[in-house]
Structure 1
Amino acid sequence: MIAVWAPLLLPFLAAPLARRLADALSPRAAAWTLAGSAAVLAGGTLCSLGLLAAAGLLQLPPVAALGHLSLPWLTAAAPSAPLAAAVAALALAALTALAVRTARRHHHDLRTARAALPTKETRPRHADHHLTVVDDERADAFALPGRLHRAEPGRIVVTAGMLRALSAPERAALLAHERAHLTGRHHLFLALAEHAAAIHPALRLLRTPLGYHLERWADEVAAAHVGDRTVTARAVGRAALAANRSPWPARPKLAAAATSGPVPRRVAALLQPRPPRTGTRLRPVAVALAACLALSTAATMEATADLHRTVEAAQHSTGEPDD
């Protein structure tokens, strides 16, 4: 089962490639590239760990007896499987604990933010979201995702202090930015990046750039909505300055906000006439990233098939494997 180790090693090569490629793509394409790469690589890691654990589990006498497997054949075929399985099982247990802790933290943050909001809110006509204005002098604005199990729409949360810090055109750009976060379900991208980073250390490289490109995605949507890139850039800059002076403390980590990320870099991008086009010089990077993702997927499938062949051979064998 040599193929089972490839998905554990490929993220160290694929993550830097994905990060470099994303910088040359449009914000939306960059976000999807980073999120898709993280999902494939994290999934491959979990599958590999699961296969390693399963290979060792087969050598337990009760499991071998239940599956009518030849224990001597399995032991001779893979003498190091129990050790690798023990390590993989411990890793899976640790990852499960991290995933549960991360999910609970996100749930707690969102619940705390919802509890801090006023009960009265407005819903703009022909909109699928709520606009909640918090009567607070501290300046902040963010997109609070809804709850699917209650069919609750997302909310744009903005404080009175933030509204007073911006002009009318800037307020329109800010609300369009937050609306883009809700429409694009950017909180799911952020949650995916958090869990992927917990699964494999190399995928931590994708978390920060993904957050940046999600903000750039919303910036471009806002600029197209108001029809003025300069106004949008000014809204981002002034909102960030106002929020940094006195942020609202109840903003959850998964709630995307116009004041997040490297604001000077975002403002500089908005002051350009249009997003830069993808350079052909990075085509080899795209090919290399695609190859890494394909190889990770193929290796996982091959390792699964190899384990299946091992089980079949152990069921039909009564002795040690042939040399």
Structure 2
Amino acid sequence: MAVAEARAGPRPPGSGWWEAVPAGDTTRHSCRSPLRATALPAGILPAEPLPHPRRKAIATQTLIYWLVSCKNKYSPPVSARRITENDSQHRFDEGELVMADWVKVAGGLTAISAGSRTTVWGVNGASAIYRYTNYDANPWINIPGALSDIGAAADGTVWGVNGGNQIFQYAGDQGAANPWTSITGSLVRIDAGSRTNVWGVDSANAIYRYTNLDANPWIKIQGALSDIGAGADGTVWGVNGGNQVFRYTGDQDSSNPWKSVSGSLRRIAVGSRTNVWGVDPAGSIYRYTNNDASGANPWIKIPGTATDIAAGADGTVWHINSGAEIYRYTGDQPS
């Protein structure tokens, strides 16, 4: 029986068993001893007066637990951390912790984009730019420049916009002294599915597509969006200021280039036609089912909360939350 959900972080090395301990029981519980009566070692749990979490309904109370780790089921605790039920990056049942759908990666970002497993970029709250090293032990390398939003494609193409809505294309892999080439235009959000599939929206929610000609770089597309996602295969989705969701069909019907899709999202990310993800106004994460007619909602909810999300052409997905914490999706991998 599940007793809580917790943003507990990755399981510490060497710990083989976890147990949820209600906050009111700070002196009796240990990991799964036969009588549940082994005293906790001094210093493991702070002597902090906290209400017993079961005194109020789960739906209305933020439940407080101590997540206690042991070397095995019956050994004394070796560490503990305070967690609450409304945190939802990891879930656990009574006894053993079960890693959920996301693994935390060190760092702090406010915007993120993924073209593939090996092409992941982000920017932080100070507009610093980072590229993923593909090595979680030292995951990010700082790239010169300052951006507020970034778009990374599977073919290595990277674009960004800064706080002044100026637009830049990454040229650091071409030996340029300045890794960013300025491109004419003004955008607040940008995404790149490939070298030839780059889209953005401006401060008035107007939509633009890159022409692949820097001398006249943008063509305006009918419609109004607040966020946009472009895939490697040409797929494009967007959301507007009312959180309505749209898929681009201008290459199929120029009279109405955007098909409305049921749902309510504030952020959207597209890796390909079959890898589309979004975040709703409450921060809940959704994945497209690839079936517009799948009930009243073509989206399946994925555990976790996010402020931005990234999807790659190969199925890679990352997200960041309101605390600028970074997570990579593992829900498609064996547990």
TM-score if structure 2 supplies the norm length?
Answer: 0.22
Higher radius of gyration, 1 or 2: 1
**What TM-score, normalized to structure 1?**
0.23
Larger fraction in strand: 2
Higher relative contact order (CA 8 A, sep 6+): 1
